[in-house]
Amino acid sequence: MRSRKPAVLVAAAVCGCLALAGCGGGPSAAAGKFSDGKVVIGLLNDQSGVYKDVSGPNSKVAIQMAIDDYKAKYGAKAVAKTIEIVTADHQNKPDIANTKAQEMYDRQNADIILDVPTSSAALAVATVAKAKRKLFIDITAGTTALTGKSCNKYTYAWAYDTAMLAKGTGEAVVKNGGKSWSIVYPDYAFGQNMNKSFTEAVTGAGGTVQQSISTPFPNDNFATFITKAASTNPQVIGIMAAGGDLINFVKQYNQAGMQSKAQLAVGLMFITDIHSLGVDQFAGTSFTDPWYWNLDAQNKAWSDRFLAKTGTRPTFAHAGNYSAAMNYLEAVQAAGTDDADAVRKQLDGKKINDVFLRNGEVRSDHRVVHDVYLVKVKSKSQVTQPWDYEKIVATIPAADAFEPVSVDCKM
């Protein structure tokens, strides 16, 4: 590694916010140095498998948009003069995620790693980040352990977790009459966590979970699991798979004629899932979404930029990667250095309102809480423009959407 070079020091106006809409300026008077004379952002995710469309290569586009916006905002006053993105495919395997994370931090000099779908992979990267004393902002994994027993001062959970999804969808469906459930979940960290969170939410709201059925991950044949789920005649079948597995499940669920026999509740859904299979396949399905591209004018304007670059509308993972990258660069700007400890001090406790986070706040456990949305998938006749598949049923305020800080989190 090359020797450290002093950063350009710029007089700073007092600025108490890191949000995209926040005030500008240079680093503080206590600005430090930059490693390698540049900032390196690592994108580690599924580039080729079941989660390719929900995040995948297009998250690099979202991160580059954040880099471009940072440079446009600060111009000559930008302390991060050179910013690079490095990418790797973890194939949804924790051992590969571990190896790729170490390579990014050690060989490619990544200052931060972003994204990392698949909870087992994210937990592996969090362990590496802690050991290397480098930053990791998770966007796409949902395990509550990242801000629970596996929390650490270098890892942040930016978008959602399984408890938030369950509180939104599970409680709402039960309150609307869906009392008896069968839950089908993929048998790895995320699915196990989803099953636990949804069982607690459903029973806490007065419902019952008649059975929880585990499936292999990934999986392309759900026929026997659907038959078993339906065997107790539940009012609701909850599917906790995501991405390609969710698409396969719903296709086979509908082919089995289950639409008229039980309400389908989806634990985690991305707009690319609906687009891939078709809105009619999901019509009326309830789920909780951390972000929606057509929520308001701000979201739509950003999404139009993304569409122009990729030919597709962004998922919440794409918007989350943009937000995490932008706020990281804002923290670097405020700290005047890419030193992880200095940067995290700028992130910790911050309140953020940007294109992704509404009423956002970085809590002491590094869970980023924010408003989320209970939605239903529109019918085909309700869709008035391409990709506008979701009807917002309710906004769940940040204070209500997430569980309190876990007693298991020991930074």
Backbone phi and psi for residue 76, each to the nearest 5 degrees, phi listed first: -65, -20
**CA angle (319, 78, 344) in 5-degree steps:** 60
Dist. CA 3–CA 277, nearest whole Å: 52
C-alpha to C-alpha distance for 390 and 70, rounded to whole angstroms: 31
Query: What share of residues in the chain are helix, strand, coil (percent, to 5)?
Result: 40, 20, 40
| pLDDT on residue 198 | 97
pLDDT tens digit sequence for 221-264: 999 999 999 999 999 999 999 889 999 999 999 999 998 999 99
User: Hey, what domains does the chain have and what are their CATH numbers?
Assistant: 16-160+295-369 (3.40.50.2300), 163-293+372-398 (3.40.50.2300)
User: pTM score, two decimals?
Assistant: 0.88
To the nearest whole number, what is the mean pLDDT of the chain? 92
Report the alpha-carbon distance of residue 304 to residue 288 in Å, rounded: 23
- What are 153-184's pLDDT values in tens digits? 999 999 999 999 999 999 999 999 999 999 99
- Measure the CA–CA gap between 115 and 195, rounded to whole angstroms: 23
Kindly state the tokens that stand for 305. 């930029």
Q: The tokens 């916010």 sit on which residue?
A: 17
CA distances from 376 to 6, 290, 292, 382, 389 (A): 52, 13, 12, 12, 9
